[in-house]
Amino acid sequence: MTIAMNNQLLQISKLNKSYDGKILAVNQLSMHVNPGDFVILLGLSGSGKSTLLRCINRLIEPSAGDISFRGEDILSVKGLKLRQYRRHIAMVFQQFNLVKNLTVLTNVLTGRLGYHTFVSPFSKEDHEFALHNLKRVGLQDFAGKQVKHLSGGQQQRVAIARALMQDPALILADEPVASLDPATADSIMQYLGEINREGISIICSLHFLSLARRYGNRVLALKDGQKVFEGLPSEIDNQRFKQIYGQDAEEI
């Protein structure tokens, strides 16, 4: 099936996901991503943000609905076509998901695995691209270091460089700064902002409205799996904030 997108990069329509067949973690959610967007997902833990991101790259399978990428339905693709689709959708995780005993360079190179068979080695071009992406995140001098010797912020930058190895059109960042201190969190968001300005679209789940206002051009807020707000970061006033996070919530 092909779904018209009107030049949108990603289109999601009436998406549902239930893990137990009863409660919907994502409930009738529709959204889109334009080329160059920096979309911020807001919402409490358990609101459906991570589930939505994992449905987009098909780490988990939706229960119902449609997802199209560049006009093509992606819920029906399998095998090689699914692998090819995932090349264009990179993921950055909260807990980095790096192999701590391997070097920074080796971890970054693993981002290129989607372009290789199991027996083909990394090429000279792959190594050059890895060093280029390490430079993009300010870690060009750390290529030979084991990841376990890096700080949390540095490890997340390695994870971003690994994502860039896919040459993605879209990066899904699942609470990439939740485990970092505020200053380091802001620096990670700055790198994502620079990458976005280079033309890569981003969907990033966050807890802090201040970061959403600073880096996002659009916000999608979820509550109990449903969309409760979609619009500009500047449109989230105190009333909308409490609608998203609850009447007793206070902005930090």
CA nearest 129: which of 147, 143, 118? 143
**pLDDT value of position 121:** 80
CA nearest 208: which of 181, 178, 183? 178
**pLDDT value of position 239:** 83
Rounded-to-integer distance, Cα 235 and Cα 220, Å:
11
Q: Is residue 31 part of a domain?
A: no
In terms of Cβ atoms closer than 10 Å to its own Cβ (0-12, 13-18, 19+), residue 162 is: buried
Q: Read off the pTM.
A: 0.92
Q: Is residue 170 part of a domain?
A: yes
What is the residue range of 222's domain? 37-62+78-245
- Return averaged pLDDT per consecutive 10 residues of the chain, 252 residues in all: 62 97 96 97 94 96 97 94 94 93 96 80 93 97 97 97 97 94 94 96 92 94 95 89 70 56
Q: Is residue 240 part of a domain?
A: yes
Q: Is residue 85 part of a domain?
A: yes
Q: Is residue 252 part of a domain?
A: no
CATH assignment at residue 125? 3.40.50.300
CA nearest 175: which of 76, 70, 72, 43? 43
Q: Please state whether beta strands 38-42 and 218-223 pair in parallel, antiparallel, or not at all (unpaired).
A: parallel
Q: Is residue 155 part of a domain?
A: yes
**pLDDT value of position 97:** 92
Which amino acid is located at 5 in the chain? M
**pLDDT value of position 114:** 86
Q: Is residue 25 part of a domain?
A: no
List, in sequence order, every beta strand (DSSP E) within the chain.
Answer: 10-18, 24-33, 38-42, 64-69, 72-73, 89-92, 170-174, 201-205, 218-223, 226-231
**pLDDT value of position 221:** 95
How many domains does the structure of the chain reveal? Answer: 1
Q: Is residue 4 part of a domain?
A: no
**pLDDT value of position 4:** 41
